[in-house]
Every structure is written in C-alpha cells, then in structure tokens.
Structure 1
Amino acid sequence: MSRKKIIALVVVVFLLWGIFSLAGLFWKKSGDKIETLLTVIALIKSQYYQPVSTEKLINGAIKGMVEGLDDPYSTYLDPEQFKHLNEQITGTFGGVGLIVTMEENHIVVVKPIPDTPAAKAGIKAGDIIVNISGRDTKGMDLDTAVSLMRGPVGTRVEVGILRPGEKETRMFTLVRENITIPTVESKMLDDKIGYIMLSQFTENSPQAVRKAIGDLKKKGMKGLIFDLRDNPGGELKAAVEIADIFVPRGKTIVYVDYRNQPDEEEKAEVPELGIPVVVLVNGGSASASEIVAGALKDWGVAVLVGEKTFGKGVVQSIFRLPGNAGLKLTVARYLTPKKHDINKKGIMPDVVVKQPAGSKEDRQLLKAKEILAEKIK
C-alpha cells in the first residue's frame, strides 16, 4: 500500500472517529462498537483482496443500520431507487407495466397494465415472479422487486415467471417504456350501481376518484362499489382526501401517532357522498387502503366486503439525503377513528366472502351488488 493511500486512509478513519466522538454520551455507551466499525473499515480498505471505495463501505454501513431496525418498511434508497420511488408517487415512471403484490413471500402479479411491455409479452395475473435480472425474489421485499423492474426507458430487464400449474420457469426479456399508472377505472353496472377500482394512492388519485364519481352521478348512480382489492397503498395525503369524500364532515378520518411530536388528527372537511357504498377489500389491501376502509367502517358509511386486509398500520416519511439518496423511515403509526391499531392485524370486513383462486366468477363483487341492490330499492 502506497504512502499516499495510507495517509488518505488514516484521514478517513480520524474523520469518522471525530464525527462519532461528538456524540458524547452515545460514545460512552457504544464506543467499543464504533471502534469495531472503524477497524472493519480500515481492514477492508487495507486488506481486502480487491479495491473497495470508501463510498461503497459507508453506503453499506448505512444500509445495515436501517436493516438493523427489523422494520420491513424502513429502507435506505440509493440515488436510483430514490428516483424510482419519487416517480411512483407521482404516478409516471420507466418500467414494464406490472402491478404486483406479496403473497407468502412471493412476488405475485396482480395484473399487467394494458398496452405495456408486460401485457404485450403475455404475462398474466397470478403469475409468480421468481427472478428479476438474475436475482432470486424469494423473500425479497416488494419495494426492491418493483425498483428492479423500473429503470430508464429503452433499457432491458429479464423477468422469470412461474405460472401456476407449471414446473418450468418462463423467461421474458422486456424493454422498459414510460408507464403511467391508470390508478382509477370506473363504469356503471346494472341497477344504477357505479363501480370504481383504485389500484394505488398517488398525488393524482383524489382528483381522479372525484371525477369518476361525478361522471357516474351524471349517469344516474344510486349506489357505489369502491374496489380497493390488491391496492398496496401510497400517499397518506391522498388517502385522507379520498376518505373525505365519504366520511361525514367534522368526523375524524385517521389519527397519526408520533413518538416525539404531537399526534395529528385528520378530519373530514366536505359533505359526505350521501349514497350507499360498499368497499371491496382483501389481503392485498394495505396501508392507505386500510386508512380509507377503516374510516368508512368505523363511521358506518360503507359496508366492507371481502377478506381481511394486510395489516400495515404504520406511516413512512421520505427524507432526501446528500448525494440524491433517500431514506424511507417509519415515523408513526396510524389509528382508525375509533382508535383501532390495525398494524399486523388488518381489518376484518363486515361481510366475509372468500374468492377462490383461479375462479372466473367474482364472488366478492357479486355480493357487493347484492347488498347495494337491497339498499337502493
């Protein structure tokens, strides 16, 4: 090792040592661990059989620190992942067009977005994604899987699919395109029953839901089915604005319970919709979906039909870090209006209806139509 490299290494170590020394009491309690960290950095820099940048080591240390929280929702995001997350929030990104969920530690396709690379290639709802660009997805968290499938428009990604009933993995090479998530689909069903499906909560979702309701009202809607099945959540603000459409004015939508700052209480500000509503939920309904479903159930303004929700009752904030990296950190838990903590518990529907895997008949939707037909007679 050259004299210059040794001097640079010593400078890095002493800089890190000085930063940690400022912690005072923290140092007294954790000095041996910090010394171990600095020693490991120095040993890797000087003894590892291949050169490793200090940036890579520090990024690894930060990632390990966040992983040490044992919180599946707190994640260190490198610049590329942070960029993808911001694209997801705004609803437009470079990707392959798959809406996915987590089922028994597997990444499962909820549905391909029409006219996207995944749909054109023949990937179907129910397909299990077993690898992405050579990485095994068994036990992989949803955010990582989604991030791997996204990237610059025009680049390629290889996705391995295991179709139910088959033993061989199908490989798909997909070219990423600019994807706009169609978060809202709406239509008029029989008997003046409106139907709105929301696939994700983005910045644009509240406006899209209000527009869909307005269009259905013009067609004479007397009851509404609001489908939140397999909706993994999204923006807290979007969830509050959408719940506000249904919850009576002045009533609580959600409590946000922080550790080191005053709790927040979000209340409805606009008149409620005023027609019978059924909300469809299942095990893929999580986070923001559960905020909406919990508020509507607690105030009795909708009947929940389907299966128990996922049970994600914690709130994440996104922090921008130096170098365009980011930190998604759990900062609070949320409680329903009746102060129910649903984290790791989920919300049980008012009417439980199981949907058999592979069935072409949507039993949950049929039950919702039956309930509304009785209410709007």
Structure 2
Amino acid sequence: MDDNKKSYSGLKGFLFGILFTLGIMCILFLVKNRDYVMGKEMNPTELGARTKVADIYELIEDVYLGEVDNKKMTDYMCAGLVTGLGDKYSTYYTQEQFEKIMQSTNGHYSGIGVAIYQDSQGRILIESCYENTPAAKAGIKPGDILLKVGDKPVSSMSTNEVVDLIKDTKEGETVSMTLERGDQPYTVDVTIEEVEAISVTGKMLENQIGYIRISEFTGVTAEQFKDAYGKLQDQGMNRLIIDLRSNPGGLVSGVCDTLREILPKGLIVYTEDKYGNRSEQNCDGKSPISIPLAVLVNSSSASASEIFAGAVQDYGTGTIVGTVTYGKGVVQDTYQLKNGGAVKLTVSHYFTPKGNNINGKGITPDVEIDMPDDSEEDVQLNKAKEILLH
C-alpha cells in the first residue's frame, strides 16, 4: 500500500513537471510570437529577427562568462535597432539623455545662466551672462576668463567638458568658480538653479535697423522674440533683420508661434505622414509686419529655421539673404518608452505654404551671398542692411 502511494505520488510529480515545462514553453512562444498569435501577419524576416534576439539573450544567460549589465545591453540593442533604419534623424535616447533633451527643447535647464566660448589661445571665456540668473547675481560678467570649476583647472578642457563639469552639481547646490577679470583673479560660489535658456537676442543697429538673432526654436523662443521685437519697436525701429544663420531648428510649435508675430493671415506650414494625413499650422494675421524685413540664412540653417525662411519667402514678407539652407524637410516626434528612454522617429514631411518640399534641396535665398572665411566684416549682414536701405 505504501509503495503504491509512493508510485502514485511520483507519477503525479512527473506529470506536473511535464505540464509545468509545457506551460513555460507556451509562454516563451507567446512572448516571441505574440503578434502572430494575435492575428497580426508577420513576415519571416520579422519573425526571425525577434526569435534571434531572444536566442541571443538565452545564450548570454547560459554561457557568457563575464558580468552582464542588462540595462547597458538593452540600451545598446535599442540604439542599434533604430540605427538600422538608416535615418540620420531617428535616434534612441537613454533615460538620462532624454531628460537632457527635454530640458533643452523646453527652453529651461539646470545651470548658472552663462554662455561660454573658447578663444584661439584655448582660454574659456564668458560670452554672455543673462539677466537675473545665478551667475549675474554672483557678479560674473561677459569677458571674464574662467580658470577653475571647483578645484579643477579648465585650461585643457573643451567648452562641452566645462559645461558638463558645472552641470555635475545638483540643482540647489553651489559650485565654486575661479575667474579672472583684468588680470585680477576672483572666486565666487554660484547656486545651480533652473534657468531659462536665451535663444533670442536683439539690438538696434544704425539707421534705426533692428537686429534679432534667433539661435534655435524652443518652447520659450516665441515669447523671447515678442519681447525683443516689442523693445525695438518702442525704440523707433523702421527696418528689421532676423538672423537665422547656423540655427539648427528645434520645435515646430516654437517657430510657428514666432511667425505668428509677423505673418499675414494664412497657412504657415503643413505636414503629411506616411498615410497621407495632412496637418496644418495657420496664422490669424493679427499683427503682420509692416516694415521692410530681411532674413539671414546659411547652409547650417535647418529644419524649423527653414520653415521660418520658407514662409517669409512664400508670402513675400521679407527678403531672404545668404546661402542655400541645409535642406531638412522632415519632422520627428519623440516617444517616451514605458521602461525608460525614448525614441525619436521621422514621421512626416513638411511643406512651405506654397507646397514646396525642401528636403535635400534647401531654400535658395532671394539674394545669394557667401561669407568669405578670411573676411573681417560680416558681408551678409552688410548686404541685408544695403537691401533694406534701398
């Protein structure tokens, strides 16, 4: 009787083991082939690729000798998958990279509120210090030479390395900076805060010609443009130059909101996705510009900058001056992933108000003029002034 019980118990355990193994195999099959099971048709290449990835994971778990960093391995795999599209505008971002990108495009970041540059001698200088920022409150001024961040000399660093060094300090904490002004070194403690990135600057040139420089289009660009534009109007501006040279683009919403300050009523830009769905951005035309306008562009003016130049050119609102633009006539959307990170994918073409697709071609200026490398003067800016005065 006891032997029968043992046999029965052993058989039950054996059958349970078989059923458990079959259950695991079914789950693995469903994970690998979920689209197929749910009725979605999959071609052999797609099915093979998914199976291959699962096989590689299993091999790594079974036989790989070294330590496995699953997060790093996953990030590299995702990056490789997007790179395989062969589209230079589509990108995979890690969670850390995505957070930095979002700060940049929104127009806010954790920092001290300065722009820096490296001169021909390799020195790091303060190019500009924005109003009401931690740097300005600490007494830092344009032209100051940065010597140290904390106890680290910056003389052998690039500007990007210096920026990263400053950003290593968390928001709310202070960073010690040693600078030099007129051969006199001084040290200040600057608190890291959320500051608004300055993408628009303006000034009055001779003959009451206003000048506005837009370095990129972010979530705060339109408001900064409106402020600069209004100040120049208050100063009696009767002509305007908008400088988009080397502006890489940015947000479509940012450029459209900026254009709404100067365009007549009508279409600003429209996009079409892979299915032919059309989306339009329009202007109500409440404040069309009423003074002569020139827009400066070059081969590094791209994307949103080309939307700006294309709309101004199509409406005849101003004269485009410079060299043929970059030719990026496609739009990307960024999708945040559930488990961290994000993917930026090209999702549509954009067209100027007259229906021009400038992708790979760029916008040809109304007045083409190169900027010689050895020129001591800004010949493109001078040409824009000349056009506006005649």
TM-score, L = length of structure 1? 0.74
Q: How many angstroms apart in 1 are the aligned matches of 2:272 and 2:167? A: 35
- Give yes or no for contact 2:115–2:127 (8 Å, CA) kept in 1: yes
- Partner residue in 1 for 2:278: 263
User: In structure 1, what is the Cα distance between the partners aligned to 2:350 and 2:311?
Assistant: 11
**CA displacement 1:103-126 (0-9 Å, x = unmatched):** xxxxxxxx975248998449xxxx
Displacement of 1:280 in angstroms is 0.4
Task: Report how far residue 245 of structure 1 moved.
Answer: 2.3
Q: 5+ residue gaps in structure 1?
A: 1-6, 101-110, 123-128, 134-145, 156-174
User: Quick check: 1:252 aligned with 2:263?
Assistant: no
Answering whether residue 368 of structure 2 is matched by residue 317 of structure 1, we say no
Aligned match of 2:108 in 77, 82, 92? 92
Matched with 1:277 is 293
**1:139 paired residue number:** none
1:75 to 2:91 alignment = yes
Question: Post-superposition shift, 1:89?
Answer: 1.1
What is the distance in 1 between the residues matched to 2:81 and 2:273?
Answer: 21
**Structure 1's 33 and 304: CA in aligned 2 closer, same or farther, altered over 3 A?**
same
Q: Which residue, out of 203, 207, 211, partners 2:227?
A: 211
Alignment of 1:1-377 (within 5 A): 16-19=31-34, 21-22=36-37, 24-26=40-42, 28-94=44-110, 113-115=127-129, 120-121=145-146, 151-153=167-169, 180-249=196-265, 251-260=266-275, 262-271=277-286, 272-374=288-390
Q: Aligned partners of 1:52 and 1:46: how far apart in 2? A: 12
Q: Which residue identity does 1:17 align to in structure 2?
A: K
| Unpaired stretches in structure 2, ≥5 consecutive residues | 1-20, 118-124, 130-134, 148-156, 172-189
CA distance in structure 2 between the aligned counterparts of 1:151 and 1:330, rounded to whole angstroms: 30
Quick one: structure 1 residues 192 and 228, their matched pair in 2 at CA, closer, same or farther if it must change by over 3 Å?
Answer: same
Partners of 2:36 and 2:166 lie apart in 1 by: 40
Residue 298 of structure 1: how far off its partner (Å): 1.1
Secondary structure of the equivalent of 1:260?
Answer: coil
- Structure 1 residues 283 and 11, CA gap change in structure 2 (3 angstroms): farther
> 2 CA distance for matches of 1:82 and 1:113?
27
CA contact 2:35–2:41 (8 Å) conserved in 1: no
Once residues 222 and 368 of structure 2 are traced to their aligned partners in structure 1, the CA distance between those partners, rounded to angstroms, is: 27
Alpha-carbon contact 2:240-2:291 (below 8 Å) kept: yes
Quote how far apart the aligned CAs of 1:90 are.
Answer: 1.7
1:30-65 deviation line (CA, Å, top 9, x unaligned): 323322222222222323331224443333322221
Which amino acid is 2:50 matched to? I
Measured in 2, the distance between the counterparts of 1:314 and 1:38 equals 34
Query: Which residue of 2 is the match for residue 126 of structure 1?
Result: none
Distance in structure 1 (CA, Å) of the matches to 2:126 and 2:360: 28
Q: Deviations over 1:127-182 (max 9, x none)?
A: xx99977xxxxxxxxxxxx9x78954369xxxxxxxxxxxxxxxxxxx99666421
Identity %: 35
Which sits farther off after the overlay, 340-349 or 41-50?
A: 41-50
> Secondary structure of 2:363's match?
coil
Q: Of the two, which has the highest radius of gyration?
A: 2
Partners of 1:93 and 1:150 within 8 A in 2: no
Q: Does the C-alpha gap of structure 1 residues 293 and 149 become closer, same or farther in structure 2, counting only changes over 3 Å?
A: farther
Q: Distance in 2 between matches of 1:256 and 1:186?
A: 31
The answer to whether the Cα contact below 8 Å between 1:307 and 1:349 also exists between their aligned partners in 2 is: yes
| RMSD of Structure 2 on Structure 1 (CA) | 3.4
User: How far 1:229 moved relative to its partner?
Assistant: 0.7
Q: In structure 2, the residue corresponding to 1:322 is in which secondary structure?
A: coil
Change (3 A) 1:180 1:267: closer
- How many equivalent pairs are there? 318
Matched position secondary structure for 2:42: helix
The answer on whether the counterparts of 2:116 and 2:128 sit within 8 Å (CA) in structure 1 is no
Equivalent position amino acid for 2:216 in 1: Q
Q: In the aligned structure 1, how far is the partner of 2:126 from the partner of 2:87?
A: 29
The whole-number CA distance in structure 2 between the counterparts of 1:19 and 1:346 is: 43
TM-score (norm 2): 0.72
Assess if the C-alpha contact under 8 Å between 1:252 and 1:265 holds in 2.
Answer: yes
Q: Do 2:126 and 2:145's aligned partners in 1 also have CA atoms closer than 8 Å? A: no
* Whole-Å separation in 1 of the counterparts to 2:191 and 2:41: 50
| 8 Å CA contact retained: 2:298, 2:324 | yes
